[in-house]
A and B are shown apart, each in its own frame.
Chain A
Amino acid sequence: MFERFTDRARTAVRRARDEARAEGQRPVGTEHLLLAVLADGDGLAVRVLRDAGVTADDLRERIRRHAETGDSGLGEADAAALREIGIDLAAIVARIEESFGPDALREAAPAPRRRWGRRRPAGGPFSARAKKVLELSLREAIRLRHRHIGTEHILLGLLREGRGLAALTLTEAGVDLADVRHRVELALRASA
């Protein structure tokens, strides 16, 4: 599948892997693909996003916040989900730290579950959604009758997938996914 990828798109995929690796033993997620696309500062994808009113720095910061875990060792999304059912995570952290010292909960990382005969998540280093994004980028290229797959097609794939952390981050940044898709296609047509 990667044979149609341009050098820049290949670099982006490699960078996505590096981003995931930098966070520990994690599969490449859609957010890593987005970070990689954003790293190509001269790319059409970054330009289009800027025109749509969102900067690469802002998106990077938002993704970092999603990945970051707080005093509890749980992410902000976890805290929000718990709030939704009436649990105040901050209060729990405070109680635990009162008894067991600062960072007690953060440092209490459970051991990863051992699954015999299955050492890595099935399907290799890409999450199911990230794989879907790459498939969709291929499909987008075919639909647009492009013979190559560039970073802009990866962005189209991310937008089309629509449900991963990348799409969530874009939506939270105030981006209308359909609008950006439209903008990418316009820019591609203009440069063709």
Chain B
Amino acid sequence: MSHATELAAAAGSTDPRVGLRAVRALRRLLERLEVVQVDNARRQGWSWQEIADALEVSRQAVHKKHAGRPAVESSREA
């Protein structure tokens, strides 16, 4: 990290706007990563329960959030 970016990071770290904006961006990224990974798990034949366990959430929560998308081919159930 260059001196300038170090300074910028140090200066930004106490500004709530910078920090909260980063949290928002991270949440957006998280949502997309979750879609990618859940779809992949389904393609590999994982059950909703298995996915829920891996994410440490309830099966209902995972199902409600992800089952509505166009179904991915599941190798186990197909």
What is A's interface to B at a CB cutoff of 8 Å?
72-74, 77-79, 81-82, 84-87, 89, 92, 96, 100, 104-105, 108-111
Contact = CB atoms under 8 A, between A and B. Distances in A.
B28 A84 contact: no
Contacts of A108: 32-33, 35-36, 39
B12 A109 contact: no
Interface stretch (B18-26, B45-53, B54-62): B18-26
Interface of B: 8-9, 12, 18-19, 21-22, 24-26, 28-29, 31-36, 39-40, 65, 68-69
A88 to B, nearest CB: 11
Given A74-B29, A111-B68, A81 B21 contact: yes
B15 to A, nearest CB: 10
B25 A82 contact: yes
Nearest to B66: A111
A92 B29 contact: yes
A13 B40 CA distance: 44
Contacts of B8: 84
Q: Which 10 A-B pairs have the closest CB atoms?
A: A108-B35, A78-B25, A110-B31, A81-B25, A81-B21, A81-B22, A85-B22, A108-B36, A108-B32, A82-B25
Given A81-B18, A81-B22, A84-B12, A109 B35 contact: yes
A93 to B, nearest CB: 10
A78 B33 contact: no
